[in-house]
Amino acid sequence: MAVNDREPPPGGATRYLRECLRLLRWGAGTLVTAWRVGRTGSLPVVLGLVVIWIVFESIDTDFLSARNLSNLSVDLVGMGLITVGVIFVLLVGDIDLSVGSVSGLAGAIFAQLNVNAGVPEWLACLIAVLGGAAAGAVHGFFVARLGVPAFVVTLAGLLAWNGLMLFILDTHGSINLDDQGLVATLTNHYFGNALIPLGLAALGLAAYLAVALLGRRRRTVAGLPGPTLGAVAVRAGLLGAVLFGAAGVFIGFRGLPLSVLILLVTLAVLDFVLRRTTYGRKIFALGGGIEAARRAGIAVEAVRMSVFTVSGAMAAVGGLFLASRITSVGQTSGQGDLVIDVIAAAVIGGVSLFGGRGTTWAALLGVLVIQSIASGMALLGVQVAVQFMITGSVLLAAVVLDSLSRRAQRSHGRA
C-alpha cells in the first residue's frame, strides 16, 4: 500500500492513535454514566437518525433531497400528532392501543358530516375531535375508575371504534373529501415565501436564547448553579443548525408546509404543559408511582382519565391530518400498522414504557425514524414485508434499551 512506502514518524502515529483511543474511551465513559442515571436525553435516537440518513443517502442520493425530506415531513405530521397523545398515556405508565381506530373514526365522522350531511367543515372537525376525546374518556373511565388494565380496555377500543367507523361509513366504502376545503388545506398548503421559514427559525432560536439566558440569570441571582454560557451557546448553536437546516430544506421545495408548522407548535405547547405546569407535574408523578402520587394528595383518577382523553382527542386530530393527506376516508383508515408505528415512535423517541420518563419531542424524533425507514425503503423499492421486519427490530431495540436503562438506574440508586 502507498501509505507503507514511507516510514511513519517514529511514535507519531501510535501516539496519535493512543490519543484518539483515550478520547473515545472518555466519550464512551461519559455516555455510560449518563445512561446509568437515565440522562442521555435524545442522544441515542438522534445518533440513530443520523446513521439511518447516512445509510440511505449513500445508497440513493435522492434520499436527502429537499423534495424527499419535505414530503417525508408532511407525511409524518398525522402520525406525530397521534404519537404526542399516546405519550401522555405512556407517561402515567398506561398504554393506548386504540389510537389507530379512533383516528379512523374521527376521519369517518368528519367525512360523513361534511361531505354527506353538508355540515360546515369547521363544525364537522370540532365534532370529530370531540368524538375522539369522548372515546378516550370512555377508556379513561374504565381504567381509572374501575381499575381494568389499560391494555385490555384499549384493545377492546381498537376493535369497537373500528366497528363504529365501518358502521358510520356504511355502504360508502370510502368517501372523498373536498380537495379545496379546510381539511385538505391542512396538508396541501405551503408558505412559499422564503422569509417565513427563515423568520420563524430566527424567532424560535431567539425564544430559546431568551428563555435560557433569563433562566440562567434568575438561577445566578438565587445563588444556584446554572448552565455555563458555553453550554447555552452550544445548545443554541445546535438548535439553530437544525432550525435553519430545516428552513433551507423547505425553501428548496415549495416552502414551509402549514402542517409541519402546526405539528411543531403543538409539540412546543404540550411540552410547556408537561414541564412547566402543575398538571404536567402530576402526570409525571403518576408515572413515578401511583401510590406516592395519591399520598401527595393528587387526584389520581382524574389525571388518569384526562390523559386518555388527551390521547383520544390527539388521535382524532391526527386522523384528520391523515385523511387530509389522501383527501379521502376509507375502511382501512387508521388500521394496519399505524398503532404499532405510533407506540414504536414514542419508545424510539425516548419515552419509557414504564412511565414517568419522556418528552413531547420524542414524537417528532421517533416518527422521523419510522418515516425515514419507510421512505428510504420505498425509494429503494424494498417490499413492505422487509420494512415491517426492520421497523419491528428497531422497536424491539428501543424497548430493550428502555428496560436496560431502567435496570441500570435502579442498581445505581441502590449502590
Q: Would you say 172 or 281 has its CB closer to other proteins?
A: 281
What φ, ψ does residue 278 adopt, rounded to 5°? -60, -40
CB 96 within 8 A of CB 86: yes
DSSP E strands in 106-260: the ranges are: 175-176, 190-191, 256-257
Cell 507519531 sits on residue: 12
Q: Would you say 118 or 297 has its CB closer to other proteins?
A: 297
Q: Would you say 225 or 381 has its CB closer to other proteins?
A: 225
What φ, ψ does residue 394 adopt, rounded to 5°? -65, -40
Return the biggest CA–CA distance within the chain: 84
- Distance in angstroms (rounded) separating the CA atoms of residues 117 and 108: 12
Task: State the nearest-atom distance from the C-beta of 282 to other proteins, in Å.
Answer: 9
Task: State the nearest-atom distance from the C-beta of 87 to other proteins, in Å.
Answer: 14
Tell me whether strands 175-176 and 190-191 are parallel, antiparallel or unpaired: unpaired
Tell me whether strands 190-191 and 256-257 are parallel, antiparallel or unpaired: antiparallel
Which residues share a beta bridge with 175? 329
Q: Would you say 42 or 335 has its CB closer to other proteins?
A: 42
Give kind and range of the element (H or E) at residue 329: strand 328-329
Binding site for other proteins (CB under 8 A): 37-38, 215, 218-219, 222-224, 275-278, 281, 284-285, 287-289, 291-298, 355-357, 409-410, 412-415
Task: State the nearest-atom distance from the C-beta of 95 to other proteins, in Å.
Answer: 17
Task: State the nearest-atom distance from the C-beta of 292 to other proteins, in Å.
Answer: 4
Q: Would you say 183 or 286 has its CB closer to other proteins?
A: 286
CA angle 356, 156, 85 (to 5 degrees): 35
Q: Would you say 176 or 220 has its CB closer to other proteins?
A: 220
The residue type of 9 is P
Task: State the nearest-atom distance from the C-beta of 284 to other proteins, in Å.
Answer: 6
Task: State the nearest-atom distance from the C-beta of 121 to other proteins, in Å.
Answer: 34
Task: State the nearest-atom distance from the C-beta of 399 to other proteins, in Å.
Answer: 18
Which of 389, 387, 407, 411 has its CA nearest to residue 399? 407
Q: Would you say 287 or 312 has its CB closer to other proteins?
A: 287
The three-state secondary structure class of 328 is strand
